[in-house]
C-alpha cells in the first residue's frame, strides 16, 4: 500500500464565527472539529500530518502539542494552493500520496479518503472529492464525464452560466502522489477574479498536461464546511443523529432519540434503556442492561450491568457504579464508587467515597469531603445503613453492617455492626408554643389597630 500523508488547511481567520477561539477548535460532541478529522485520518495511519496555520496559531500549537503533528505557517495568505505549498518543507523526503483538505470539514471519513486514493491506483494522477448539494450556492464546480473523468474545475466566480448550472460541486479535498502534487502546486497561477492561488487548479494543471483527473462523489453531509455558529449547530445535530442511529443499531433503546445527546466517546452496551432528556458528557461507559432515566447528566462515569440511574441524577467524573447499584433522583456522585447492589435513592451527595456492596444511603446524606483546602475520603462498609439527613465528615470510615441514625453528623469512625446516633438532647417546654402564638397575635392586632 502506498504511503499516505495529510495536509490540513486551517490558516483562515474564521471571522463569521465571531469568536476568540480558532474556528477548527470549536467542538462537536465535546471534541474540537479538527480532532474529529485527525482521528478519522488516523485510521489510515498517515506517515506524516501537517496542519497549515495562520491566525491564532498559538491555539493550534497548544491543542496539537501531544500529537505527532507538524504545523506550518502561511503568512501572508494568498489562497488555498499557496497554503498547501507551506507544507512542502515539513514533508520533505516523503514519497507517497498526499491529501489536502480543509480543517473545518470534520465529518470526512477514512473510507472516503481510501476511495480517493484508489482512484490514483486506478490510473488517475489527481483525484478530487465532489458532492451534489440541494443548493449548489457558490461552490466551485466540477465538470466531468459520466465515468468521473474531470474535464474542468472552476471556481463559482470564474464560472460561466452553463458551468454554474452543473450541480457537481468541489468539496476541496484533493489527492495526488507527491511526485505530482508539488509540481502541480508550483504551476498554479493567480490569474483569476480574486487574484489568489486556488487549490482546484492542481487538477486544472494536471488536465492541461494531459493527465487523467477523476472525481469521486460523496454525501453532501460528509463534506459540509463549518463557517458560522449556525453551521456548527447543524453539524452537531448531524453528528448526534448519526450517533443515535449507531446506538440503537448496537442494541440500545432510546425512548425519545431526538432528546438524547451523546459525547464523541460515549460507549453503550446492549439492552441499555435511555429515557428522554439524558445528556452524556465525555468519558461515559455504560455496560449491558443498564437503565438511565430522564433528565440525568453523566460525565466521566462508568456503569456496570444492571445499574439504574435517575431520574434527575448527576454523575460527575470518577463516578463508578458497580453491578445492580442504584442512583435515584437528585443524587450527585463524583470520584466515588457505589458497590454492587448499593443504593442512594434520592437527595444525596456522594463525593470522594467508597460505598460497599449492599449499603443503603438515606435521603439527604452528604459526604463532607472538602475543608476549603483539601479533599478527604469517606469509606462506607458493606451493608451499612446511613439514615436520612446524615452528614459524614471525611476522613471517616463507616464499618460493615453498621447503622448511622437519621440526622447524625459523624466525624469519627463507626465500627462494624455499631449504631451511631449523634443528636442534640430533645428539650420539651409544655405550652410554650401556645403562649408564643397568643403573644404574637396580640402584637399583630395592636399594630393593625394603629394603622
Using alpha carbons, list the distances in angstroms from residue 237 to 29, 219, 222, 279, 284: 9, 16, 13, 14, 20
155 labeled part of a ligand binding site: yes
346 carries an active-site annotation: yes
Local structure of 358: helix, strand or coil: coil
329 labeled part of a ligand binding site: no
344 labeled part of a ligand binding site: no
450 labeled part of a ligand binding site: no
CA dist 29 and 12 (Å) reads: 23
- Which is it for strands 343-355 and 378-380: parallel, antiparallel or unpaired? parallel
> Of all residues in the chain, what percent are helix, strand and coil, respectively (each to 5)?
25, 30, 45
CA angle 55, 60, 62 (to 5 degrees): 130
406 labeled part of a ligand binding site: yes
435 labeled part of a ligand binding site: no
The span from the first CA to the last CA of the chain, in angstroms, equals 96
48 labeled part of a ligand binding site: no
**Is the distance from CB of 292 to CB of 310 less than 8 angstroms?**
yes
416 labeled part of a ligand binding site: no
210 labeled part of a ligand binding site: no
364 labeled part of a ligand binding site: no
402 labeled part of a ligand binding site: no
349 labeled part of a ligand binding site: yes
* Environment class of 15 (CB within 10 Å of its CB; exposed 0-12, middle 13-18, buried 19+): exposed
CA dist 42 and 199 (Å) reads: 23
Query: Dmax over Cα atoms in the chain, in whole Å?
Result: 107
442 labeled part of a ligand binding site: no
CA dist 9 and 256 (Å) reads: 38
DSSP 426: P
314 labeled part of a ligand binding site: no
12 labeled part of a ligand binding site: yes
353 labeled part of a ligand binding site: no
79 labeled part of a ligand binding site: yes
235 labeled part of a ligand binding site: no
259 labeled part of a ligand binding site: no
Q: Which of 36, 346, 377, 437 is catalytic?
A: 346
Instruction: Tell me, rounded to whole angstroms, the distance of Cα 443 from its chain centroid.
Output: 62
CA angle 16, 18, 23 (to 5 degrees): 75
Using alpha carbons, list the distances in angstroms from residue 445 to 440, 448, 449, 451: 9, 5, 6, 10
269 labeled part of a ligand binding site: no
Q: Which residues neighbour 43 within 8 Å (Cβ) at sequence distance 6 or greater?
A: 110
171 labeled part of a ligand binding site: no
Backbone angles phi, psi at 62, to 5 degrees: -70, -45
- The count of other CB atoms within 10 Å of the CB of residue 436 is 11
Residues forming the annotated binding site? 9-12, 23, 74, 79-80, 104, 140, 155, 170, 227, 316, 334, 349, 360, 363, 369-370, 388, 406, 423
Residues forming the annotated binding site for acetyl-CoA? 363, 369-370, 388, 406, 423
Residues forming the annotated binding site for UDP-N-acetyl-alpha-D-glucosamine? 9-12, 23, 74, 79-80, 140, 155, 170, 227, 316, 334, 349, 360
Enzyme catalytic residues: 346
Residues forming the annotated binding site for Mg(2+)? 104, 227
Amino acid at each position: 500500500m502506498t504511503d499516505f500523508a495529510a495536509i490540513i488547511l486551517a490558516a483562515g481567520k474564521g471571522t463569521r464565527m465571531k469568536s476568540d477561539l480558532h474556528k477548527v477548535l470549536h467542538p462537536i460532541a465535546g471534541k474540537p472539529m479538527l480532532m474529529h478529522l485527525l482521528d478519522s485520518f488516523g485510521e489510515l495511519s498517515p506517515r506524516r500530518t501537517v496542519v497549515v496555520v495562520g491566525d491564532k496559531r498559538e491555539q493550534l500549537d497548544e491543542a496539537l502539542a501531544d500529537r505527532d503533528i507538524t504545523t506550518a505557517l502561511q503568512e501572508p495568505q494568498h489562497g488555498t494552493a499557496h497554503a498547501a505549498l507551506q507544507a512542502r518543507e515539513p514533508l520533505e523526503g516523503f514519497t507517497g500520496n498526499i491529501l489536502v483538505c480543509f480543517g473545518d470539514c470534520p465529518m470526512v471519513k477514512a473510507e472516503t479518503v481510501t476511495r480517493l486514493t484508489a482512484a490514483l491506483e486506478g490510473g488517475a494522477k489527481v483525484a478530487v472529492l465532489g458532492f451534489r448539494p440541494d443548493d449548489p450556492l457558490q461552490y466551485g464546480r466540477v465538470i466531468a464525464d459520466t465515468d468521473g473523468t474531470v474535464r474542468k474545475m472552476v471556481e463559482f466566480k470564474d464560472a460561466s452560466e452553463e458551468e454554474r448550472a452543473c450541480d457537481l460541486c468541489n468539496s476541496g479535498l484533493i489527492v495526488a502522489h507527491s511526485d505530482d502534487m508539488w509540481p502541480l502546486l508550483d504551476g498554479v497561477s493567480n490569474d483569476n477574479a480574486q487574484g489568489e492561488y486556488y487549490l482546484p487548479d492542481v487538477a486544472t494543471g494536471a488536465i492541461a498536461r494531459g493527465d487523467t483527473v477523476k472525481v469521486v462523489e460523496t454525501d453532501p453531509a460528509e463534506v459540509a464546511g463549518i463557517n458560522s455558529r449556525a453551521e456548527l449547530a447543524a453539524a452537531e445535530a448531524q453528528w448526534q443523529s448519526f450517533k443515535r442511529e449507531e446506538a440503537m443499531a448496537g442494541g440500545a433503546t432510546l425512548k425519545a432519540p431526538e432528546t438524547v445527546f451523546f459525547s464523541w466517546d460515549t460507549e453503550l452496551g446492549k439492552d441499555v434503556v435511555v429515557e428522554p432528556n439524558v445528556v452524556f458528557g465525555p468519558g461515559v461507559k455504560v455496560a449491558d442492561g443498564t437503565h438511565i432515566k430522564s433528565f440525568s447528566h453523566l460525565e466521566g462515569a462508568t456503569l456496570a450491568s444492571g445499574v439504574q440511574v435517575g431520574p434527575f441524577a448527576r454523575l460527575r467524573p470518577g463516578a463508578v457504579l458497580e453491578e445492580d447499584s442504584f442512583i435515584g433522583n437528585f443524587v450527585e456522585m463524583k470520584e466515588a464508587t457505589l458497590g454492587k447492589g448499593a443504593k442512594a435513592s434520592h437527595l444525596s451527595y456522594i463525593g470522594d467515597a467508597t460505598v460497599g456492596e449492599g449499603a443503603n444511603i438515606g435521603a439527604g446524606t452528604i459526604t463532607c469531603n472538602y475543608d476549603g483546602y483539601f479533599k478527604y475520603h469517606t469509606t462506607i462498609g458493606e451493608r451499612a445503613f446511613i439514615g436520612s439527613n446524615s452528614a459524614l465528615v471525611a476522613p471517616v470510615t463507616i464499618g460493615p453492617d453498621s447503622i448511622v441514625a437519621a440526622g447524625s453528623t459523624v466525624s469519627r469512625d463507626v465500627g462494624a455492626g455499631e449504631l451511631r446516633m449523634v443528636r442534640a438532647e430533645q428539650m420539651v417546654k409544655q405550652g410554650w408554643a401556645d403562649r408564643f402564638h397568643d403573644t404574637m397575635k396580640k402584637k399583630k392586632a395592636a399594630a393593625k389597630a394603629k394603622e
